[in-house]
Amino acid sequence: MAKTLFILNDQPYGTERSYNGLRLAGALAKRDGEDVKVFLMGDAASCAKHGQKVPPGFYNIELMLHHVAKRGGEIGVCAGCMDARGLADADLTEGARRSSLEELADWVQWANATLVF
């Protein structure tokens, strides 16, 4: 089984780095024999904010995270990054959870490939 870790650093909107990382994570998560984990740190912690409202026709990062999670992907959000941005556990969208750098270190050792966006 292929095991891929995605580490996202950029805010959900304004650049397309998190968007593109989640596009690839979603595409891999759909395939048989693929195991995907996504770790959100820095400004990417905001990607997991529940209740995102975007203009019609614009991509929605929260929904993209849901697609990864529905296909068995794990989504961790850096606890320190959440705290620095005033995000509480209750603010996180379904499928995402508070995580730590210790867990990220475990995920790096678990992965066959680590992609950073």
**Residues of the chain falling short of pLDDT 70:** none
CATH classification of the domain holding 78: 3.40.1260.10
Orientation angle between helical segments 17-29 and 61-70, nearest 10 degrees: 20
Q: How many domains would you assign to the chain? A: 1
For position 22, what pLDDT does the model report? 98
For position 43, what pLDDT does the model report? 98
φ, ψ for residue 34, nearest 5 deg? -115, 135
For position 19, what pLDDT does the model report? 98
For position 17, what pLDDT does the model report? 97
Q: Which structural domain range is residue 41 located in?
A: 2-116
State the greatest distance between any 2 C-alpha atoms of the chain, in Å, as a whole number. 40
For position 85, what pLDDT does the model report? 97
**Residue (of 21, 38, 35) closest to 96 by Cα position:** 38
Report the DSSP beta bridge partners of residue 114.
Answer: 5
For position 33, what pLDDT does the model report? 96
